[in-house]
Structure 1
Amino acid sequence: MEHFLIEQHLNFKEQYYSVVDIETTGNRMSNNRMTEICIVRMLGNKIEEKYTTLIDPESLIPDFITGLTGIDNEMVASAPLFSEVAEEIERMTRDCIFVAHNVNFDYNIIRNEFKRIGFDFKRKKLCTVRLSRELIPGMNSYSLGKLCNSLGINLENRHRAEGDTDATVTLFQKLLEIDEDGTEFSKFLKGSSKEGTFPPHLDRNLFHNLPDAPGVYLFKNQARKVIYVGKAISLKKRVLSHFYSKTSKSYLMCQEIHHIEHIPTGNELVALLQEADLIRHYYPKFNSAQKKPRKAYQILHYKNQLGVIQFAVGLVKSYDYSVVTHYNRAHAVEQLEQLCEDFNLCPRYCSFKTQADCSSHYKIKNCKGVCKKEELVSLYNIRATQAIASLHNQNPNYIIKQPGRTAEESCFVMVKDGEYQGYGYVDQYASIASISDCEDFIDRKVANYHTNQIIRSYLKKYGEQNVILEHTPDEPAYSD
């Protein structure tokens, strides 16, 4: 065993490494071009050769990048194209382990540049961020600047390729000394290992503590601000999938993740509903779906100055008396037209554009004349009240029973008058058979377009499975 460790130690000390840093036109891995590169070729911890050059990115450098790096369009105008320096870059990294701080960014940018000229660039990789987290635990930050400051490493010309590479070389030499038997180096170099994809600033214990159960997870940055909310049937597997993703969005998000919190839900339905609620609450940076607000429309009813029950389509909360929520105004108008036709209502008193009387409406022709005083208002209002009752009947009260977070509890989702109210958890032996049974346990939430769609999708997929419908007697909308 001792002989094996000595051999492993010698292998790592005698291995060739290329320590690399690049500057680019942006911070994404796709559609991002190189502006500068520095490579230090090492044998073990000994520097053998250095190569650095500006590169013409063949695209404009944004002002914010110039402000960060100092590299502007004029500086790269006479610089070589990548195709002109590719052979030297390939030579400097040949038979070497590719080393960088946040290695996936530099490595993938270089791979993409080689792809553009028809060359498949492949190297083994080591990340000094992840190695530092393992070998130098407990640092407040593992960014290159703060790490160098904490360790007393000289860092000049920050955000220039040569300055950052020189500092990374010194850091790498320290890491080689600390990992005397090469245990951590070996772990990170295993072809089957996924360690290289792990967020560099995340405590692995936070990930390992995630359960293989349904719930919601929140990624937070260093300031503990929520930057992403997601839901999962298996929290651990879903979170891990973000770390394996090679998209620019996932890479950039992983660079900002410092903390993970999770909320177990016991079932996918509540996970979906809670995800929608949290996205609406936090408006996270990396959530693109569900952030755009949707206007909600309702069929409203009230008594006008003539005492006639008037209907209209309006935005939610415009009036106290409103039923039937739609997230498309045309759908609300269509339902009101059908209501008008079914109950012989007056188009004029349903707020449809007509002339002096209602005869000009393109579709509805069965008004009994209340608008021309040919029908008593009281008789008309009876039909209008029946129409209101029919709207309420289209929006039943029901609860959807779901598994709880443990074997000792069950979960319910409440819908009242067709509108999502919230969810709750109760002892599995508790009697939950009606809306009133749930009132004391519910965690109330605000319905929106997305929760509406989640409930609809569930019912479409599962029908009345696990649904307890509550029939309530019709109540008159108005009394004269």
Structure 2
Amino acid sequence: MYAIVDIETTGHSSKITEISIFIFNGKKIIDEYTTLVNPECVIPPFITNLTGISNAMVGGAPKFYEIAKTVQEITKDCIFVAHNVNFDYNIINQEFKELGFEFKRKKLCTVRLSRKLIPGLKSYSLGALCNSQNIVIKDRHRAKGDAEATTILFEKLLKLDPLLITINSFLNPKSRQATLPPLLPKEIIDNLSEKTGVYYFKNAKNEIIYVGKANNIKQRVISHFYDKAKKEVTMCLEIANITFKETGNELVALLLESAEIKKIYPKFNRAQRRSQEVIGLFSYEDRNGVLHLAYNRLKLITNPLMKFHNLTECRLFLEKLCETYQLCPKYCHLQTNVTTCFHYQIKQCKGICKDEETAKSYNKRVLKAIESIKYKSENFVIKEAGRTKNETAYILVLNGIYKGFGYAKATEQPKNVNDYIKIITSQKDNNDVKRILNSYLKNNTDTSYNLKKEELIQDTFDLFAS
């Protein structure tokens, strides 16, 4: 027995506004349940334009907890079937979870079944499939109309698989078919690398929508498909292809991931995709010999200690430095127009602002704070594992600026800056890179190599020190 389901939702908040369930025994429809649902939140205008379901229409409709028992009973002992099944199933499952109940059904996706049984179509959207199979959708983007069309489509798919070989393979708990994104061919997963590197999720238009890094690319990619978080579910519905680049080691994977996110701006990467840094952190000494940490617009600072995307990010970083090194917020320009900083009152400042600590003593801590955000050496190379046993990876920093990474044969070790520059792929330096490299250097003291004077060729150094 199959429960063929379609829901309409509020969009961003993913609350159900309408649900339709057709109970199909493989030959005919034996039961049907359709109702509007009060989502207990506002339906955005663009959703109303798409579905025709307005706030007024759902105002007097039952809330999900009022129909939960009916949904549970009508789908009991049925296989849950839907177009993009994970979307409908996960939203209904979440509604039950919020009520404190579990909703578990075997699942079948008519998108994935269609890709297998009706290969070669340009699109496997419900509209495109129904067009190709001469199925008329009576009320598009309404739950009943789409559920009825999906039922007719499923009936055709059953006729194309009379022995249920394909359907049973999709229902096999050991098969990945049920968990894979509906637009993604299984062969792509089978061909993924199990080595360290960076992977790219692409949509049907071949646009990169997500970039990630992994020590085991295949394992990490598959973990996305089991993640029930809303962002992951939404993203997986769009994945139509996956490509990857092996890096040989985790450090280069982290650096490449960060660079690619800032270059491509994928829609599902948020943490690192900002690229415009507008605030700079700098230091100066006042007439009393006290070292200040201050910030200003980046274009007004000659040699910033660090760069930030906005003022809030900068102030939060400064607050952390103050806490770690017991610095005075007054001399870090976090508290202005005060004689004595608030931190002195709670004994987190040693009293430089009250003349109870000498400038010399205070400045030592300021210098320690500054050192903590700089590389220990201005010119160094990190040597790491390459993509093969006969290859070595190199990460280059010159004049305190990250230059990029590259690979060389293990038998051809670079001897000077010129050699390193020939093999590296040039990359941009930024705060995320500094964070990645500093974190790595703290835990890997034996892989970095300080460049000696004889290895630094001045012409090359000047050329690449910008």
Do they fold alike, i.e. is TM over 0.5? yes
Offset at residue 44 of structure 1 (A): 1.5
Q: Is the 8 A contact 2:375 2:438 kept in 1?
A: no
Structure 2: distance between partners of 1:207 and 1:448: 33
Task: State percent identity of aligned pairs.
Answer: 45
Deviation at 1:286, TM superposition (A): 0.6
C-alpha displacement at 1:446, in angstroms?
0.7
Aligned equivalent of 1:386: none
Find 2:252's aligned residue among 264, 267, 270. Answer: 270
1:118–1:457 CA distance, 2 compared to 1 (3 A): closer
Among 195, 199, 203, the residue aligned to 2:181: 199
In terms of Rg, which structure is larger? 1
Structure 1 residues 289 and 313: CA distance shift in structure 2, 3 A: closer
1:69 counterpart residue number: 51
Offset, 1:395 = 4.2
**1:472 partner letter:** K
Match of 2:178, SS state, is: helix
Partner residue, 1:287: 269
Query: Is residue 399–residue 435 contact of structure 1 (8 Å, CA) maintained in 2?
Result: no
CA distance in 2, matches of 1:395, 1:298: 20
Question: Contact conserved, 2:298 with 2:304, CA < 8 A, in 1?
Answer: no
Instruction: Return the alpha-carbon distance in structure 2 between the equivalents of residues 275 and 145 of structure 1.
Output: 36
Counterpart code for 1:469: N
Give, as a single letter, the amino acid of the residue that structure 1 aligns with 2:53: I
- Residue 26 (structure 1) aligned with residue 7 (structure 2): no
Query: Given the superposition, is the C-alpha separation of residues 447 and 95 from structure 1 closer, same or farther in structure 2, using an over 3 Å criterion?
Result: same
- Once residues 122 and 166 of structure 1 are traced to their aligned partners in structure 2, the CA distance between those partners, rounded to angstroms, is 23
For residues 462 and 393 of structure 1, what CA distance do their matches in structure 2 show?
13
Q: Tell me how far apart the structure 2 counterparts of residues 218 and 112 of structure 1 sit (CA, whole Å).
A: 28
Secondary structure (helix, strand or coil) at the match of 1:196 reads coil
Q: Distance in 2 between matches of 1:191 and 1:60?
A: 38
For residues 52-63 of structure 1, the aligned pairs below 5 Å read: 52-63=34-45
Residues 472, 314 of structure 1: alpha-carbon distance in 2 compared, 3 angstrom cutoff: farther
Q: Does 1:226 align with 2:214?
A: no
RMSD: 3.3
Match of 1:254 in 2: 236
Query: What code does the residue aligned with 2:11 have?
Result: G
Matches within 5 A, 1:61-460: 61-293=43-275, 294-295=277-278, 297=280, 322=303, 325=306, 395-460=377-442
Residues in 1 aligned to 2:441 and 2:407: alpha-carbon distance in whole angstroms: 20
Give the SS at the match of 2:18.
strand
Aligned to 1:354: none
* CA pair 316-436 structure 1, distance change in 2 beyond 3 A: farther
CA deviations 1:279-301 (Å, max 9, x no partner) are 11111111121124445647699
Preserved contact between residue 87 and residue 237 of structure 2 (Cα < 8 Å): no
Tell me the distance in 1 between the aligned counterparts of 2:418 and 2:3: 69
Q: CA deviation at 1:70?
A: 0.3
Instruction: Kindly provide the amino acid, as one letter, of the partner of residue 429 in structure 1.
Output: T
Match of 1:469 among 442, 450, 457: 450
Change (3 A) 1:393 1:69: closer
Pairwise CA distance, 1:318: 5.7
Give 1:208 deviation, angstroms.
Answer: 2.0
Deviates further, 239-248 or 72-81 = 72-81
Contact between 1:18 and 1:97, CA under 8 Å: does it hold in 2?
Answer: yes
Deviation of the 1:76 alpha carbon: 1.5
Amino acid aligned to 1:283: Y
How far, CA to CA, are the matches of 1:131 and 1:46 in structure 2? 19
Q: Output one character per residue of 1:122-148: Cα deviation in whole Å (capped at 9) or x when no partner.
A: 222111111111211222111111111
Distance 1:452 1:90 in 2: 53
Alpha-carbon separation, structure 1, partners of 2:449 and 2:273? 32
Specify the SS of the correspondent of 2:453: coil
- Measured in 1, the distance between the counterparts of 2:375 and 2:177 equals 56
Residue identity in the other structure for 2:205:
A
Contact persistence 2:87–2:234 (CA under 8 A)? no
Looking at structure 1, the residues matched to 4 and 176 of structure 2 have their Cα atoms a distance apart, in angstroms, of 21
Aligned-partner Cα distance in 1 for 2:182–2:205:
16
**Equivalent residues, number:** 400
Match for 2:447: what amino acid?
A: N
Aligned equivalents of 1:251, 1:159: Cα separation in 2: 20
2:340 — aligned with what?
Answer: none
Letter matched to residue 269 of structure 2: N
Matches of 1:256 and 1:76, distance apart in 2? 29
Provide structure 1 residue ranges, at least 5 long, that are not aligned to the other structure. 1-15, 302-311, 336-359, 367-390, 476-480
**Aligned 8 A contact 1:194 1:244 in 2:** no
Partners of 1:433 and 1:468 within 8 A in 2: no
Structure-1-length-normalised TM-score? 0.75
Cα separation, 1, equivalents of 2:161 and 2:14: 34
The question of whether the paired residues in 1 share the 8 Å contact of 2:306 and 2:431 is answered with no
Q: Contact 1:37–1:52 at 8 Å: present in 2 too?
A: yes
**Matched residue SS, 1:84:** helix
Show CA shifts across 1:368-400 (max 9, x none): xxxxxxxxxxxxxxxxxxxxxxx9996421101
Query: 2:4 is matched by which residue type in structure 1?
Result: V
Rounded Cα–Cα distance in structure 2 between residues aligned with 1:77 and 1:21: 21
Q: Tell me if the contact between 2:377 and 2:450 (Cα under 8 Å) persists in the aligned partners.
A: no
Give the 3-state SS of the residue equivalent to 2:24 in structure 1. strand
Contact 1:434 1:468 (C-alpha < 8 Å) held by counterparts:
no
Distance 1:434 1:124, change over 3 A: same
